[in-house]
Structure 1
Amino acid sequence: MNRILPVAVASLSLLGAGCATKKYVRNTVDPVRDQVQQVATQTNQHGNDIAQARKDMERDETLLNATKEKADSADTHAGEAMSKAGDAMNKAGDALAKSDKNTQDLGELRQTVANLDDYKVAGEDAIQFGFNKSKLTNDSMEKLDKLASDASAMKRYFIAVEGFTDRSGSADYNMQLSRKRADQVVQYLIAKHGVPLFRVHEIGLGKLMPADEGHGRQANAKNRRVTVTVYSADSQVRAMNTAPTTPETSSLNR
């Protein structure tokens, strides 16, 4: 009996100590576990926040790139629009300049027609052609060069171009051939010397108005021609044509 009592007391002491240890552990470890769990929860939340922030940044970057592309495209379109507007303004300016030039040329032509009596012969030459030919020779081009050069120094002038043929062949064919010859002369004056078209008056007369009434080779050669006459209303030319005849000039004209 006396032995059992100490053992029981020792057992109760151990049991009480065990309960105290569990309580201590529970009171010490559980708060730590809770804190760890809280930290883990916060860490997960921070991770989610970081992931969301990264997604937001990627989205913002995508929007920024799209906005930049639109801005670049807008700049490109604006540049193209400015370029087209500039081209349109240049074309409008050219058209206006041409319109003004045409108006001026038309005015000069009307003035020419209105004052034909003021125009006097300032130069004249005959451009000869081979049989059934309409091609200009070197000698013919030299004559045209001289006439065009003289005309370029005049302010008010026009050039009459009249094509002719000899009497051989039909009237219709000769009319076409005379026009071809006159065309060659006009094209040369315009292309080589820049003579304005409105200053040129052209006609093909076929075998009409022969320069030589004969029927031989010499007469035919003389009739295959284009006469080019420069008329001018410049005061200097009019003065030359209206100057009184002196004995010296009279003898020269004989």
Structure 2
Amino acid sequence: MAVGGHTMNKTLGISLILTGALLAGGCATKKYVQQTAAPIQSKVDQVSDQANKQGTSIEEARKDIERHETGINAAKERAISAENQAKEAMTAAQKADQNAMTAQGAADKNGREISSLRDSVNTTLGNLDDYKLQAETVVPFGFNRDVLTDEAKEQLDQFVKEHATAKRYFITIEGFTDKTGTKAYNDELSRRRAGHVMAYLITQHNIPVFRVQDVGLGNEKPADTGRNRAARAKNRRVEIRLFSADQSLTLATK
């Protein structure tokens, strides 16, 4: 019994020693792991955090770049629009300048023509005492009519043809009516009659405007003071007279 108890005690002691060693070894291993792994994990966490921050920074940088690109594109579009507007403004300015030059040229031309016309009038009418009645004709009109008939046009054509050699001359045209109607109406009607004769001479025979003068006298200065139809017909007329300073012309009456 003594021997067996000694052996058992020895075995138990060895077991306790081994268990303590194992426990000591386990504690040492865990501590080692903690001491070694913790810094590594910290580094990993730090790197991961930095990576996350860098990722965020990169994303923000990308968004900033996109915003800048958007701003640049908008600026380019505004620049292109401004350039187009500048080109349009330049074109409009050039056109306006050209129009101004054209208008100035026309004004200069008109000024020269007016000056020439004034000189011609002064020369032509410089001495009215030299102008004598050289020819006259009377164009009849129908009742309440102011349009030239074919016969009236032929009469005017013949009048101009017979005196085409006149150089220094002017023509007077006086329109008249009969006494039918109001004074205001007759005055207007007589002006229309004289105006149509004047327009025909200018447009169909190229007589200068400054050589022709027309006037409407209504029912004044009647050619016939009678009250019958024949007298009224004589009063519906336009009298055309040619005055000339050309001594070679002789008086002709139609």
TM-score (norm 2): 0.69
Partner residue, 1:62: 74
Alpha-carbon distance in 2 for matches of 1:21, 1:8: 20
2:200 alignment partner, one of 171, 180, 188: 188
- Give unmatched runs, 5+ long, in structure 2: 1-12
- Confirm or deny that 1:46 pairs with 2:58: yes
1:95 alignment partner, one of 92, 101, 107: 107
Q: Over the residues paired in the alignment, what is the CA RMSD in angstroms?
A: 4.1
Alignment check: 8 A CA contact 2:138 2:240 kept: yes
SS in 1 for 2:59: helix
Structure-to-structure mapping, 1:14-163, within 5 angstroms: 14-116=26-128, 125-130=137-142, 133-147=145-159, 157-163=169-175
Q: Could you tell which deviates more after superposition, 175-184 or 132-141?
A: 175-184
Partner residue, 1:6: 18
User: Structure 1, residues 207-232: CA drift from partner, whole Å, max 9, x if none?
Assistant: 6495x999998787666543434456
TM-score (norm 1): 0.69
Alignment check: 8 A CA contact 1:161 1:228 kept: yes
SS in 2 for 1:161: strand
Partner residue, 2:6: none
Q: Could you tell which deviates more after superposition, 31-40 or 184-193?
A: 184-193
SS in 2 for 1:101: helix
Which of the two has higher C-alpha Rg?
2
Alpha-carbon distance in 2 for matches of 1:132, 1:2: 160
User: Structure 1, residues 113-159: CA drift from partner, whole Å, max 9, x if none?
Assistant: 11556667787543233456544211111233455578888765432
Alpha-carbon distance in 2 for matches of 1:126, 1:232: 18
Structure-to-structure mapping, 1:160-179, within 5 angstroms: 160-163=172-175, 176=187, 179=191
1:202 alignment partner, one of 211, 214, 217: 214
Alignment check: 8 A CA contact 1:147 1:230 kept: no
Distance change (3 Å), C-alpha of 1:146 and 1:28:
farther
Alignment check: 8 A CA contact 1:163 1:179 kept: yes
Alignment check: 8 A CA contact 1:164 1:178 kept: yes
Matched pairs, number: 235
- Give unmatched runs, 5+ long, in structure 1: 243-254
Letter in 1 for 2:96: K
Alignment check: 8 A CA contact 2:166 2:249 kept: no
